[in-house]
Amino acid sequence: MLKGQVALVTGASRGIGRGIALDLAASGAKVAVNYQASAEAAQSVADEIVGAGGEAEALQADVSQLRQAAGLVEKVQEKWGRLDILVNNAGITRDGLLMRMQEEDWDEVLAVNLKGYFNCCKAAFRAMARARSGRIINITSVVGLRGNAGQVNYAAAKAGVIGLTKALAREAAGRNITVNAIAPGFIDTDMTRVLPGDIRQEMLKAIPLARPGYVADVARLAVFLAGPGAAYITGQVIAVDGGMSM
């Protein structure tokens, strides 16, 4: 379905990004597997793709740094000569109630989870505009739609991603580039495994489908949004949350 296409997935060494990278590759795309610190994990994602007969490369970059994001996109283009799909997924949490939240907790979360998306969109947009074709998929969160106590930094960043998605969708439409956001709910990854048991239980109670989401639940939608079936969908925020945000 995505044969001949080139995808860049940020934060693809683990969790949701890893799952999206593997599924895009299984659909035929060549995949750049970005990571910040987990070199071995990212390499094993790339090896898994190559082992299954695909093409992939693990590429280190801190997406919160504009220059590094630009360098990342350059490397993808040097290797494969194009960039068709950008999945902005790299994210961090630094949770705490507002009264106790440190300035650095705010700055770091905004830098990775919002500015990082701006940086990668900016770097990728030129290649897509030249090709008059492209797909940008931004991973936001139900927390960006509904808020969550203890996450003012994360909620602000994720709500910001929704604004970025809609504004860029309007800018990019004339060049045949679609921009959409996926808002996962409570997905079983490293990010949620560190939560205390009582908070996990509380979150599970708020899910009508009564189970945590799996990486595959999110990855499937990302592949659809990257594919031909989603050509007429842009500027949308689609929740994958077992009904949590309805």
Residues that bind ligand NAP (CB under 6 A): 10-17, 34-38, 41, 62-64, 89-92, 112, 116, 139, 141, 184, 186-187, 189-192
Length of the chain: 246
Min separation Cβ 69 and ligand NAP, Å: 9
Give the integer Cα–Cα distance in Å for 55 and 153.
Answer: 36
Min separation Cβ 34 and ligand NAP, Å: 6
Considering beta carbons, is residue 131 or 206 the nearer one to ligand NAP?
206
Give the integer Cα–Cα distance in Å for 33 and 9.
Answer: 6
Min separation Cβ 60 and ligand NAP, Å: 8
Min separation Cβ 29 and ligand NAP, Å: 18
Select the residue whose beta carbon is closest to ligand NAP and give its number: 15
| Catalytic annotation present for 232 | no
Considering beta carbons, is residue 5 or 13 the nearer one to ligand NAP?
13
Considering beta carbons, is residue 139 or 177 the nearer one to ligand NAP?
139
Considering beta carbons, is residue 174 or 208 the nearer one to ligand NAP?
208
Give the integer Cα–Cα distance in Å for 134 and 178.
Answer: 6
Min separation Cβ 101 and ligand NAP, Å: 17
Secondary structure (DSSP) of the chain: --TT-EEEETT-SSHHHHHHHHHHHHTT-EEEEEESS-HHHHHHHHHHHHHTT--EEEEE--TTSHHHHHHHHHHHHHHHS---EEEE-------B-GGG--HHHHHHHHIIIIIHHHHHHHHHHHHHHHHT-EEEEEE--HHHHH--TTBHHHHHHHHHHHHHHHHHHHHHGGGTEEEEEEEE-SB-SHHHHTS-HHHHHHHHHT-TT-S-B-HHHHHHHHHHHHSGGGTT--S-EEEESTTTT-
Considering beta carbons, is residue 189 or 234 the nearer one to ligand NAP?
189
Q: Which of 35, 117, 154, 214 is catalytic?
A: 154
Catalytic residues: 154
